[in-house]
């Protein structure tokens, strides 16, 4: 534990600043990463990220070569995220905690097809790699009694390639495609399993009960090919000496996510409204986002699965260290 405290203290001492890093969606997926808009004098950035949608706490550390080549530079991201796989309810109700860990690495190259100086139109190419480790508690009612409740370790991974461009310093268009090894855990029904032990002592009967929250199988892992298209209206930057520099400004991101797979083809669509705050370097950083997301938008197979039942909301936020 002391090593973790020491590691955190080192990050706190690193010179860090804010940058406009756009927010995640309800599932914790990165829709657009706008870390290329760092000030040319900025080379490092550290963020703590919270997302109520996937109930996660994350940390990301960015390094940039903008100081050496403002016209064409690279940004690297090292990220780590943790969340309870069964949700907060199981943690507080039954005291069980099955952590999910996601590690990711991102590489972004600015102006990949041109060495011209930075102008109002900027494009960037990004690659994201990730690894997920999750431990699930599953319930199989048709199995033998001793085998009905069991733990499952899942190790999945993903790789995505994105092309992004900024128009007139305020509009961002993002195209992303990739490969993802996924599972259907989020689609499983949650059940509470109670084990009751009864003992007798003469006329006295005693019962001891233990509870666990599990997901009822059929659990499967599958290959998926996600695609994301998004449009962002970024917020303007004010002169650092202006009183408007201290104001919060509203921006938004519209996005569509497609998933093609042998298990389930689906389309999600949503909007993220975010408030930005400007720091001393003149960069605006989203500090709070509100997400409205329609899950599996074109699902017509379930009569009780109307669109109103598939609307999800969540909040996400960034804290720069």
**Residue 269 vs residue 42, higher pLDDT:** 269
In sequence order, which residues have a C-beta less than 8 Å from that of residue 294 and are 6 or more positions away?
A: 268, 269, 270, 307, 310, 311, 312
Say if residue 226's pLDDT is above 90.
yes
**Residue 300 vs residue 242, higher pLDDT:** 242
Say if residue 302's pLDDT is above 60.
no
How confident is the model at residue 232, as a pLDDT? 92
By mean pLDDT, which of 2-11, 83-92, 98-107 is the weakest?
A: 2-11
Q: How large is the average pLDDT for residues 98-119?
A: 79
Predicted confidence (pLDDT) per residue in 167-204, tens digit:
887 888 999 999 999 998 888 888 888 888 899 887 88
How confident is the model at residue 104, as a pLDDT? 94
Say if residue 225's pLDDT is above 90.
yes
CA distance 314 to 252: 15
Q: What is the mean pLDDT of the chain?
A: 80
By mean pLDDT, which of 34-38, 68-72, 162-166 is the weakest?
A: 34-38
Predicted confidence (pLDDT) per residue in 275-290, tens digit:
988 877 667 777 889 9
How confident is the model at residue 300, as a pLDDT? 62
| Residue 41 CA from chain centroid, whole number | 28
Q: DSSP code of 218?
A: -
CA distance 28 to 46: 18
The closest alpha carbon to 123, from 135, 108, 140, 104, belongs to: 108
In sequence order, which residues have a C-beta less than 8 Å from that of residue 36 and are 6 or more positions away?
A: 75, 108, 110, 122, 124, 164
Say if residue 269's pLDDT is above 50.
yes
Helix (H) or strand (E) holding 304: none
Task: Name the β-bridge partners of 260.
Answer: 225
pTM, 2 dp = 0.80
Residue 16 banded pLDDT, cuts 50, 70, 90? very low
Does residue 55 contact residue 316 with C-beta atoms inside 8 Å? no
């Amino acid at each position: 534990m002391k090593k973790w405290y020491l590691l955190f203290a080192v990050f706190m001492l690193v010179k860090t600043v804010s940058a406009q890093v756009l927010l995640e969606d309800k599932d914790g997926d990165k829709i657009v990463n706008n870390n290329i808009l760092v000030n040319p004098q900025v080379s490092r950035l550290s963020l703590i990220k919270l997302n109520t949608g996937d109930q996660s706490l994350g940390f990301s550390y960015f390094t940039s070569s903008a100081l050496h080549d403002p016209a064409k530079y690279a940004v690297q991201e090292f990220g780590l995220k943790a969340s309870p796989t069964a949700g907060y309810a199981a943690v507080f109700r039954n005291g069980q905690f099955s952590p999910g860990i996601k590690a990711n690495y991102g590489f972004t190259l600015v102006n990949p097809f041109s060495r011209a100086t930075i102008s109002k139109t900027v494009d960037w190419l990004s690659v994201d790699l990730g690894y997920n480790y999750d431990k699930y508690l599953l319930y199989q009612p048709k199995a033998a009694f001793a085998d009905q409740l069991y733990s499952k370790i899942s190790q999945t991974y993903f790789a995505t390639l994105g092309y992004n461009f900024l128009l007139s310093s305020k509009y961002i268009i993002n195209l992303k495609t990739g490969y993802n090894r996924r599972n259907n855990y989020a689609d499983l029904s949650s059940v509470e399993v109670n084990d009751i032990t009864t003992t007798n002592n003469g006329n006295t009967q005693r019962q001891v009960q233990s509870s666990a929250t599990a997901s009822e199988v059929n659990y499967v892992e599958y290959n998926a090919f996600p695609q994301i298209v998004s449009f962002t209206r970024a917020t303007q930057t004010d002169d650092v000496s202006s009183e408007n520099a201290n104001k919060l400004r509203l921006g938004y991101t519209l996005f569509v996510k497609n998933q093609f797979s042998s298990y389930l083809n689906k389309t999600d669509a949503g909007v993220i409204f975010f408030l930005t705050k400007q720091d001393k370097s003149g960069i605006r950083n989203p500090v709070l986002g509100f997400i409205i997301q329609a899950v599996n938008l074109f699902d017509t197979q379930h009569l009780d699965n109307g669109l109103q039942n598939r609307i999800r909301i969540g909040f996400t936020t960034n804290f720069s260290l």
